[in-house]
Structure formats: structure tokens, C-alpha cells
Structure 1
Amino acid sequence: MNIYDIARLSGVSIATVSRVVNGSPKVSPKTKEKVLAVMREHEYTPNVFARGLGLDSMKTVGIICPNISDQYMAKAVAYLEDNLHQYGYDCILGCSGYEQKEREDYVKLMLSKRIDTLVLVGSSYAGNGKSEFDTDYIREAAESTPVFMINGRVEGENIYCACADDYHAVYDVTRKLIGRGKKQILFMYDSDSFSARQKMAGYDAALSEAGYPVRGELKFRTRNDIEYTRDMLLAYKNLEFDSVVATDDGIAVGALKYARVKGIRVPEELSIAGYNDSILAIGCEPEMTSIDSKLEVLCRTTIDHMICLLERGGQIDTYVSVPCEIVKRCTTDF
């Protein structure tokens, strides 16, 4: 019986068994007891070689995102990798796609590697809000290794989340549009992710507070695709709106192109606000007002907290909310 057998019988990685053997605080109590029970059952006593394998820390972090071609994801991975290298850590990157089974399978695959912890980038990992079972695989992963989430929130032991304050960001920009006399504010989104739900809740709250009805026909689901969004808006002949709040800059640029085709003046007749303050916001004409979701701050905070947990055994917050900033450009007049 050796450390590899204990890992197989316990259903955990070799690194997790090594953490238990070395008394590391990085393993959840439930997983620790499961490994210890197997060790007791098989009368396993770690030898000096097992303790000296250096498996307790491989200084490697697993990072999973849905799609690295997405600008937000690509920037997040770049920020994460840069911060990890400053602490002497390497990373393994994987792209899971957006389907539930794909996400679950990729998390299992990443856990089979000898990683110190796992980072999930993007709010789609927090489910669609319809069932807690959608995120059970994350809680199961956290039994073996700490899980850090960027812009997604899942409750559970050994899970640490850093999120942009999307609710108040969209609330604030909607209130500013209302303050300029806008009454038909179109909310454009492309998913039911945790982030999108927070943004929609901020939009709803701002309208309700101003005494405006929350109208379903002014909640417009599209793709995060410029041409697709433009063409969908052009196809809706009876959709009337005087402003747009979009959950991504790509969607907002689609609305801007719609205005160009229709001969609608921006911002005089139509105000538009995007999200994430990406290169798209300054690459269009006129330049786009957009919400800076502080992705760099989220990534730096995540890695700083990770190092505190992994190397110092410190106590860290399980949830951090980072305020966003409205970057005013030429598509709004507030």
C-alpha cells in the first residue's frame, strides 16, 4: 500500500493525500477525514519518501474559462498568469465551453492534474439561477482543493469568489439615463449567468425606484455579436426605445450600428452604454460610454488571496465585491 493506492481508494488526487499527510490546511475537513479513514482501514503509515515527494505544493494553478477567444476571458487569463508568475507559480489553462456536462468534465480533468488550486473565470460557472444542482460539481471540487471564482458566486466550504458589483453599476447608469429624461430604456443581454442576472436586477431596481414600469418587451436577449445584434434590432419594426444599456461592449456596438443604419443621432436621439470598457468601446465611432468592471482588480485580488491561503494559511474572505466605474464617452449625454 502506497500513497498512490490511498489516492485511488479515496477518490482524490495524490497531491490531496500528500496535503493530508503533511497536515496542510488546504484540504477541507470532509476530504481530510475521508483520506484518513482509508489510511486507518489499510493501516497505512507514510514513510519518509512519501513525505519528501514535494507533492504538497507543485506551485501550479489550474485555470478554466469557457472560451479563450472571448476578450473578457483572454484579458482575465493574462492578468491571472502575470500575477501568478510574480509569486513563482505556473498555470495550466483549459477551455470548458458553456455546456453543463462540458464544465463538469473539464473540472474533473483539471483536478486529476497535480494543481494547488483551481480558478474558474466567468459568471457562467455560477449556474443560471434555476437550480443549485448546477453548481454541485464546484462544491465537490472544493472538497479536494480550494476553488476561486472570478465574477461568479457559489456558496460552499473552500470556495472563494471575487465579483464586480454589476448590480450597482447598471443601477447607476440606468438612473443617469432616467435623469436625462429617458423613459424607454432597452436592456440588452446574452445569457442568464450570475453576472447578467445581477445587471438585470440593477436595471429593474432603477426603473422601479423612478416609478417606471419594468417592461418585458424592453428586455432584449441577443448574442454578444455586433452584426447579429444590429440585424436583430433592425428586424423588430415596432420596438421603440430611446436608450440602451448592454451587458457587453459587443452588444452595445451592435446597437450603435443599428442607429447608423436607421439614421438615428447618437446621443441626441439614442443614448447607448456598454459594459467591460473593452477596446471595442474606443474603437467605434462615436466612442462608447462603458462600465469598467475592474477585471484587473478582480484578478489581482484573487491571486493575492490565493497566496495568503496557500502559503501563509491565513484567513481570507469567501466573497469580495469590487465597485465598477462608468467611463463616460460620446454615446451618452449625462
Structure 2
Amino acid sequence: MKKITIQEIAKLSGVSVSTVSRVINNSPSVSAAKRKKIQAIIDEHNYTPSVFARGMVNKQTKNIGVILPDISNPYFISLITQIQKFALDYMFSTILFNTMLAEPNNKNSKHPLTEEDYLKIILEKQVDGLLILGGEIDKEVVSKDYINALNQLNREIPVVVIGSKIPELNCLFIERNLKKGITTLVSHLTALDHKNIGFIGGEAGVKITSYRLESFKAAMASYNHSVNEDWIVLSDYYTADGYAAMTKLLENNTTLPTALVAINDNVAIGAIRAINDAKLSCPEDIAIVSCDQFMNGDYQTPRLTSMDQHNEYLGKMALLQLISAINGQVEPMIINHNPELIIRESCGSKL
């Protein structure tokens, strides 16, 4: 059977092609009677609009680019999963750019790419807009070359960043509540009679580390807890880094904290392994809580007490902001990001 065209649907319905198009795109500016008649013909002929053809009419490719720094990181896995899911709901495809091979992480490559190079590649792919989930944008000091390249890209297509706003950048930002999670964790540990609390994990020079460490110190001060700098060990965001940080803390201190705040679940898991290898126990000797809940925290031993950052909400809001900008609505979106404490075994709580 020959596939019916939108022109033929318009002729059968006795309306214009633009009216049929508005029905297909769920526009409210069509009367209920006309919409019912047109939809009946669409259903009768099993008409499916061509995404490519609709893109040609609207001058859209229906593709969005997504930049992230490491696809192996569970935080980015959960975030991109939600973004792709919601993008499909709006008939958008995602093109993923994993910049972990960019300099300086890929110094051994014969042809290393900078993140500015990735921005040029993205424009060549003719995407309708770009989401940035991390990387250079998350550093405390962002290079001028990157800022200039991103501003230039933003003049061509809308750019939305999940991260802290940078005044020099003209793109749109979805800002997370990075302080509430730390305050909640310190409050919870204090309620469990912990005063000697340390902080492990996170890379120096990265905003999420500095913001969370600053919030940790502020929360400790609010409860009149002293901060022991020897119990603060920065490393990175992975399991091996948690193990290394915990090992260093155990080897360099005769007096140990009774509880630790880990930058994420990966670091918490590594730290617990190091505690066990030192013939100690979590939470009996050292309780551990995590700032970022990843997958499978409920299946670790002990089960991890973590902050659920609700990445499904962040992903959806970022995508809606980007699609709005693609459609010409570039007003910043105000979001209500509220991390949630998930109490399990690693903090020692009886709940």
C-alpha cells in the first residue's frame, strides 16, 4: 500500500497542510471537531510523519549533542540515560561526545583533542542544540579559549549546562543544589553522636569538590565540630581513589575520625574496602556516608547511606530548557533541585 502524504491527508480532510501539521505537532490552535476528523484519517491510513521531513520544514535536524567527560562514571551514566529517555519523548535523538580522551587526559595520543576541538566537531554535526554535563566547564579556573569557543558556539545553537553559572558565558545553566546534600549528611551524622568527621574523595581544582568541601566545613562549624585537616583527603572520584584516600588516612593518623563523608558512592565503596583490609569495620569503627548515590548502593556490604541527587529531574529540566531554547524561548529556567537522604547501613543508623 502506498504511504499517504500530508498533502493527501489535507485534501481528504478539507483543510490546509498547515492545519494537518498543527494536529501532528499537538498544537492547541485547532478546533476539536477538525482535530478529530484529521486524526481519524491519520489513524485510518497509519500515517507516520517523517522526522527528517519535519526537520526540513522547521529547519531542525531533531538531533541534540551531549558532552560529558567520562562515560564510565555512574553519575554521567544515570544522567545521560534520563536525557536520552526524555529526548525520545520529544522525538529528538542524542549524539554523545565523551571528552575523556581530550587533553590533558590523553597526553600519550598522537592526535589529542581539546574540548574546544569537540565544540567545533559538534557544530559540524549540525545539531539543534547542546547539553554540557561536565568537563572543562566544572573546573574552578576555566580557560579563556574554552569560554570564547563556547560563546561562539552559543551564537550558532542553544547551549545548556548542568553546573554552576559562569558570568563570562552566555549559555543557559541548570544549577544543582550542592550545599544541601552536605549539610544534611553532617546533620545526620551529628544526630548519630558523631563529632569527629572527615571528608574524602574529589579532585582538587574542580568546583564540585571545592563547593562540597566548603559546605562540609560550614556545616561542621554550625554544630561547633572542629575540622581536622588531617582527616580531609582529596583524591578523585573513583573506587580506587576511595581506597587510596582511606589508606592514606589510616596510615597517617594515630587518631581516626568516627565518621567520613565521601564525595560519591564509588569513593565510599573503595574506602570501605580499605577499612576492611585494615581489620576494621564499617560502620562499627568508621561510619561512611556518600554525597552522590549511584546504582547498586543498596547491594553493597554494608548498604550505603547516600544522597539521591535525583538525576532524572536534572536530566528532564536540562532537556526541557534546551528544547525551549531551540524553539526560541531562551528565558532561564528556575528549578527546585532537592537532594534526598537515603538512610542505609553504612552510617550505623538503626533506621
Q: TM-score range by the shorter chain?
A: 0.7 to 0.9
Change (3 A) 1:151 1:280: farther
For residues 263-302 of structure 1, what are the alpha-carbon distances to aligned partners after superposition, in whole Å with 9 as ceiling and x for unaligned?
3333233110123321241231110001111111000111
2:95 to 72, 92, 98: 92
Shift, 1:125, TM fit: 3.4
Shift, 1:85, TM fit: 0.9
Change (3 A) 1:54 1:182: same
What is the match of residue 197 of structure 2?
A: 185
Amino acid at match of 2:293: D
Distance 1:256 1:304 in 2: 39
> Contact 1:187/1:245 (CA < 8 Å) preserved in 2?
yes
Change (3 A) 1:315 1:142: closer
Shift, 1:206, TM fit: 0.5
Shift, 1:200, TM fit: 1.4
Matched, 1:214 2:227: yes
For residues 199-251 of structure 1, what are the alpha-carbon distances to aligned partners after superposition, in whole Å with 9 as ceiling and x for unaligned?
11210110122223333322211233324432442344233221111111010
What is the match of residue 31 of structure 2?
A: none
Distance 2:247 2:210 in 1: 26
Matched, 1:229 2:242: yes
Matched, 1:317 2:332: yes
Amino acid at match of 1:198: Y
Question: Identity percentage over the alignment?
Answer: 19
> Contact 1:184/1:218 (CA < 8 Å) preserved in 2?
no
Of the structure 1 ranges 211-220 and 277-286, higher mean CA displacement relative to structure 2 is found in 211-220
Amino acid at match of 2:158: P
- Where 1:139 maps in the other structure, the secondary structure is helix
Matched, 1:169 2:181: yes
2:214 to 201, 204, 216: 201
Change (3 A) 1:53 1:274: closer
Change (3 A) 1:189 1:59: same
Shift, 1:158, TM fit: 4.6
Change (3 A) 1:105 1:141: same
Shift, 1:54, TM fit: 4.7
2:288 to 254, 265, 272: 272
Shift, 1:323, TM fit: 1.2
- Where 2:267 maps in the other structure, the secondary structure is helix
Distance 1:169 1:232 in 2: 21
Shift, 1:110, TM fit: 0.8
Query: TM-score, normalised on structure 1?
Result: 0.76
- Where 1:187 maps in the other structure, the secondary structure is strand
> Contact 1:289/1:327 (CA < 8 Å) preserved in 2?
yes
For residues 153-206 of structure 1, what are the alpha-carbon distances to aligned partners after superposition, in whole Å with 9 as ceiling and x for unaligned?
333565122233121111221122133332221211222322222211210110
For residues 15-64 of structure 1, what are the alpha-carbon distances to aligned partners after superposition, in whole Å with 9 as ceiling and x for unaligned?
xxxxxxxxxxxxxxxxxxxxxxxxxxxxxxxxxxxxx9657311110111
Distance 1:89 1:272 in 2: 40
Q: Please report the RMSD computed on the Cα atoms of aligned residues, expressed in angstroms.
A: 2.5
> Contact 1:80/1:299 (CA < 8 Å) preserved in 2?
yes
Structure 2 runs not aligned, ≥5 long: 1-54, 105-112
Shift, 1:330, TM fit: 0.5
For these two proteins, the number of residue pairs brought into alignment is: 281
Amino acid at match of 1:221: L
Matched, 1:307 2:323: yes
Structure 1 runs not aligned, ≥5 long: 1-51
